Structures are given as C-alpha cells and as structure tokens.
C-alpha cells in the first residue's frame, strides 16, 4: 500500500510513477479524502486533549476542597461529557472516510523504482545476462517437448487427472513423482546451505494474508476460495511468508530474515484459456520453492541482487541454461518496485520460458501487513523481497528437454543423482 503522506502532500509523486506503468490516474478526489481524514484526526486529538485537561481539572478542584456533587464540578463534568460525544461523532466520521480511503488505496499498485526501465509490455524488458549454452538440434536429431517425453516415459497422467479434478491438473507417477520430490528436497537443502531458514507454512490462508501480500482485493479471480470459510488456497508461498511477521515489530539485529518455503500453489489462471494446455507449464496446481527476505530499507537493493543470485544458483547446479531479464514498468507485478525474471531454456520447444520472478517490494507489503523494525528509538517499515527458487514443474520440464537422449532415456544432472537414486530416467522403470 502506498504512503498516504505522498497523497496528501503531492499526488504527482504517485501519478507520475504510475504513468510509467501505463496507468493514467486522477487522485484529486482521493487526496481530498486523505486531507479530510487528517483534519478529522487533528480535531479529534485536540478534543481528546481538552477532555483530558478537564478530567485533570475536576480532580484538582476536588482535592482543593470542592464538593464532588457541587455545581462547580458538575459543570466541568457536563462539559467533559459533551466533548466525549463530539469525539465519538468525529471517530465515526473518521472511520467512514478511512474505509473509503483504504478501499481505493488497496487497488493502486506499487511505484516502480527509478532504476526500472520504462516500457509498455514484455517486449520492452531488458536482457541483462545469459548463462550456459542452449541445446539446439544437431545432426538431424528431433528434440521433443517435455510433455511428449513425459508421456513416453509414463511419468505423467493427464487424462486420469481430468477425471479426478479437471483440466490443467496432472498426476505424476513413478520416476516423475520421485523426480518432483527430489527437486523440492534439493532446492530446500541448497538454500539452507546459503543461510535460509526452511519454512513449511499453511497452504490455506485467510483474507488478511492475501491482502497483506497484495493478492487481494485486485486479484480475487485468480485464487481458489473455500466458500464456507475465510480461507483461500495459497497462490504462492509469498502469501503466508509475508504474514509470518504480520503486525510485529522486529529488532534491527534480527534483519535480514531469509526464508525458503515449499508449498503446493493454486491458481485459476484466469485469462490464459488456450495457452500451454499440455504439459507442466501452466497448471491450476503446481509445486514451488519460494525465497523471501525481510530487510532494512537501505539493504534492499543488495538483497535483491543476492536473492536473484540464489535462485540462479539452482539453475546452474542443475546445468540448465538461462537468461536474466529486468522487467520494464509496464510488465511489473502489482506489489513490485523492481523485478528480475529468470527464463530457463527449453530445448525441445526451442525457447526461453520464465521459471522465477525475483522482486523487491520496498515497504509496500510491510505497510499493508504492518511489519516494522526497531531502529534505535524509532520504529520503521522494513522492506520485503521474494522470488521463486524455483518453480518445480517448470524445472522438471527443462530437465526433461535438456537431458533427452537418442535411446529415449533422460540424463539427469550430477547434482540430482543422489536425490533421485539414478543418473537417468528410463521408460519402464518403477
């Protein structure tokens, strides 16, 4: 959520950055609400101070000998009661205006960093680096896509998954299930060695948690909701991790806090009809390992680089070529100030596909979740960062395509051999 002080003092500090996102916004009405809320708060505070003064005066006069039921004290108490009624009326007005203000602020996205390249769409994203050599067809070979390889190996069943649930769900079998489990364990172990605390959070999250991370109210249609409870299936571990310290005041000495969490994730994928209908790329349910940082504001830029390097380290350990893109302002996520996307090479498809999005969110989520840290005598909003480390299904897809062999098997990278218990996947193996 954006800082109301910007809105009150100079709305162009909000509208100009939002224009870089491609959003034309008139905040004049919202500014008036913010100013009105501040004026009501000042009036209420002044009246409360006057009421407190009268209360003290009543005590002083009684101690000086005035009769508690006498006219002198009675008049003061009546004056105090009138002030209490005025304060109560102002509080009601203030609550109503604050509710309107909050409702409108909650749908405004974060302000992009000045370092973020200006652009309108993903076509304007900037490639920053590449790692590894993409595998290309050689000597007339035909490289298959991951869903073809998975079907041939018998490790994914989509038809029965439709029977169990609906389309865009998969069931992993045998070597496929083992590889998925191996990838999750490998990723968590790898991140633990780099100083992350492993977390296994609830998969069901409440409305407050989704609101704190920025998923609600704007993206309700993207999430699955439990109709009879205030619970939703988490779309990403970013949601429960944001709320891990919701409403808390941390100490500066605790920061940075670095978490790595595995969760199944659930998304409706609204608006993606007809896209990636086969395979592991775009599913309603998928597994992901999420990286999350809480840090001091002055450290967030360096933390963003380190978090991204930690995600890249998984790709490098798995020998998967990738590239890093910086998202332009028009392609930024709702809560992000700045984002690096990692795209892995899919050899069978012959293209790069997103496998991780590493974002710094500034104090946007911390303000929504009321997470601060004590810095000397003052408390300050901290900064939050998140990134996939990695999306497990997409990692499996890349491994299947990168490791496919002429004899039909799939060679696995050395880093996974101990986790899988084999150096390759072979059709017919349990």
- What are the residue numbers of the active site? 267, 282, 354, 357, 394
Within-domain flag for 70: yes
pLDDT of amino acid 274: 59
Q: pLDDT averaged over the chain?
A: 94
Max intra-chain CA distance, the chain: 107
174 lies in the same domain as 322:
yes
| Tens digits of residue pLDDT in 124-167 | 999 999 999 999 998 888 999 999 999 999 999 999 999 999 99
| Tens digits of residue pLDDT in 1-13 | 899 999 999 999 9
H-assigned helices in 296-383: 300-317, 364-369
393 lies in the same domain as 332:
yes
Within-domain flag for 115: no
> N- to C-terminal Cα distance for the chain?
50
pLDDT of amino acid 58: 85
168 lies in the same domain as 223:
yes
Residue 270, pLDDT above cutoff 70: no
pLDDT of amino acid 273: 57
pLDDT of amino acid 287: 98
305 lies in the same domain as 339:
yes
Backbone angles phi and psi of 215, in degrees to 5: -75, -35
State the CATH number of the domain containing residue 392. Answer: 3.30.930.10
Residue 422, pLDDT above cutoff 80: yes
- Is 316 exposed, middle or buried (CB count within 10 Å of its CB: 0-12, 13-18, 19+)? middle
Within-domain flag for 51: yes
pLDDT of amino acid 272: 56
Within-domain flag for 110: no
- Structural domain harbouring 78: 4-105
Whether 230 and 206 have beta carbons less than 8 Å apart is answered as yes
196 lies in the same domain as 100:
no
380 lies in the same domain as 321:
yes
Q: What are the CA-CA distances from residue 430 to residues 117, 308, 420, 427 (Å)? A: 49, 36, 12, 9
- 369 vs 292: CA distance, rounded Å: 15
At 279, is the pLDDT very low, low, confident or very high (cuts 50, 70, 90)?
confident
83 lies in the same domain as 159:
no
138 lies in the same domain as 98:
no
| Tens digits of residue pLDDT in 364-404 | 999 999 999 999 899 999 999 999 999 999 999 999 999 99
The helix or strand, by DSSP H or E, that contains position 339, with its residue range, turns out to be strand 338-346
Whether 360 and 303 have beta carbons less than 8 Å apart is answered as yes
Number of domains in the chain: 2
Backbone angles phi and psi of 389, in degrees to 5: -135, 40
Neighbours of 273 (CB within 10 A): 7
At 338, is the pLDDT very low, low, confident or very high (cuts 50, 70, 90)?
very high
Name the residue with tokens 């491994």: 399
Task: Bin 17: left if φ > 0, else alpha if -120 < ψ < 50, else beta.
Answer: alpha
| Tens digits of residue pLDDT in 285-310 | 999 999 999 999 999 999 999 999 99
90 lies in the same domain as 173:
no
State the CATH number of the domain containing residue 46. Answer: 1.10.287.40
Within-domain flag for 53: yes
**Domain end among 73, 105, 137:** 105
The helix or strand, by DSSP H or E, that contains position 264, with its residue range, turns out to be strand 257-266
Within-domain flag for 111: no
264 lies in the same domain as 322:
yes
87 lies in the same domain as 228:
no
Token couple for 39? 């004026």
Within-domain flag for 139: yes
Q: Which one has a higher pLDDT value, 428 or 405?
A: 405
DSSP 31-73: HHHHHHHHHHHHHHHHHHHHHHHHHHHHHHHHHTT--TTSHHH
pLDDT of amino acid 269: 78
- 89 vs 83: CA distance, rounded Å: 10
35 lies in the same domain as 87:
yes
pLDDT of amino acid 72: 81
pTM of the predicted structure, to 2 decimals: 0.92
pLDDT of amino acid 162: 94
pLDDT of amino acid 65: 82
Within-domain flag for 305: yes
Residue 271, pLDDT above cutoff 60: no
């Amino acid at each position: 959520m954006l800082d109301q002080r910007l809105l009150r003092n100079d709305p162009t500090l909000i509208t100009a950055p939002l224009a870089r996102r491609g959003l034309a916004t008139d905040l004049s009405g919202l500014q008036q609400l913010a100013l009105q809320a501040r004026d009501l708060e000042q009036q209420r505070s002044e009246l409360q101070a006057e009421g407190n003064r009268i209360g003290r005066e009543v005590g002083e006069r009684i101690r000086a000998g005035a009769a508690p039921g006498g006219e002198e004290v009675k008049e003061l108490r009546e004056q105090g009661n009138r002030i209490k009624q005025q304060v109560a009326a102002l509080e009601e007005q203030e609550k109503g205006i604050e509710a309107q203000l909050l409702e409108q602020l909650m749908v405004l996205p974060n302000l992009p960093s000045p370092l973020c390249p200006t652009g309108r769409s993903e076509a304007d994203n900037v490639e920053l680096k590449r790692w590894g050599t993409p595998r290309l067809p050689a000597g007339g070979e035909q490289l298959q896509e991951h869903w073809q390889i998975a079907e041939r190996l018998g490790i994914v069943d989509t038809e029965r998954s439709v029977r169990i649930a609906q389309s865009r769900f998969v069931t992993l079998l045998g070597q496929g299930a083992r590889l998925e489990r191996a990838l999750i364990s490998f990723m968590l172990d790898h991140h633990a060695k780099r100083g992350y605390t492993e977390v296994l959070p609830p998969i069901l999250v409440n409305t407050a948690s989704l609101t704190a991370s920025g998923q609600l109210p704007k993206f309700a249609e993207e999430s699955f909701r439990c109709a009879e409870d205030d619970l939703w299936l988490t779309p990403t571990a970013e949601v429960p991790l944001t709320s891990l310290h919701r409403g808390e005041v941390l100490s500066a000495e605790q920061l940075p806090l670095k978490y790595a969490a595995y969760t199944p994730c659930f998304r409706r994928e609204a608006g993606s009809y007809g896209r990636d209908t086969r395979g592991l790329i775009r599913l309603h349910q998928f597994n992901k390992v999420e990286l999350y940082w809480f840090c001091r504001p002055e450290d967030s830029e360096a933390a963003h680089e380190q978090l991204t390097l930690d995600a890249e380290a998984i790709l490098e350990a798995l020998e998967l070529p990738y590239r890093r893109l910086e998202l332009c302002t028009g392609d930024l996520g709702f809560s992000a100030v700045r984002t690096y996307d990692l795209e892995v090479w899919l050899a069978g498809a012959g293209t790069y596909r997103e496998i991780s999005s590493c974002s710094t969110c500034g104090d946007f989520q911390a303000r929504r979740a009321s997470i601060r840290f004590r810095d000397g005598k003052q408390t300050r909003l901290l900064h939050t960062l998140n990134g996939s480390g990695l999306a497990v299904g997409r990692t499996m897809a890349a491994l299947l395509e990168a490791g496919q062999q002429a004899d039909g098997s799939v060679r696995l990278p050395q880093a996974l051999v101990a986790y899988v218990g084999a150096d390759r996947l072979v059709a017919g193996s349990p």
